[in-house]
Amino acid sequence: MNEVVDESRRRLLKNVTLGMVLIPIAGNLTAARAADAPLVAADDPTAKALKYVADASKAADAKPGSKCANCSLYQGAAGSAQGGCLLFPGKSVKSAGWCSSWTAKTS
């Protein structure tokens, strides 16, 4: 009976350890994939609705200094030219871009 429990416990620990290793890798792959995703098109309905622009300096409503790179919804790596955005799944936005959903990154 104890051998069955030990084997079961061993398998559980192995799976938890494997998960702890694979989850960060999967996260990095997702970010990399998002950076390779096509840029949001100017005529994208969501982009239009959110007034997305690839250059924040051209957004009349943007707070000074606000851009995708310092938005909490931006998924690109620090210093990247473009990356994913939670509002545009499967697409990427310019790190210098901006939209009306901009939310300051807290960290």
Residues that bind ligand SF4 (CB under 6 A): 52, 68, 71, 73-74, 85, 87, 93, 97-99, 101-102
Closer to ligand SF4 by CB, 18 or 104: give it.
104
What are the DSSP calls for the chain, one per residue?
A: -HHHHHHHHHHHHHHHHHHHHHHHHHHHHHHHHHHHSPBPPTT-HHHHHTT-BS-GGG-TTPPTT--GGGBTTB-SPTT-SEEEBTTSTT-EEETT-B-TT--B---
Closer to ligand SF4 by CB, 37 or 99: give it.
99
Q: Give me the least distance between CB of 70 and ligand SF4, in Å please.
A: 9
Closer to ligand SF4 by CB, 7 or 55: give it.
55
Q: Give me the least distance between CB of 46 and ligand SF4, in Å please.
A: 9
Q: Give me the least distance between CB of 32 and ligand SF4, in Å please.
A: 17
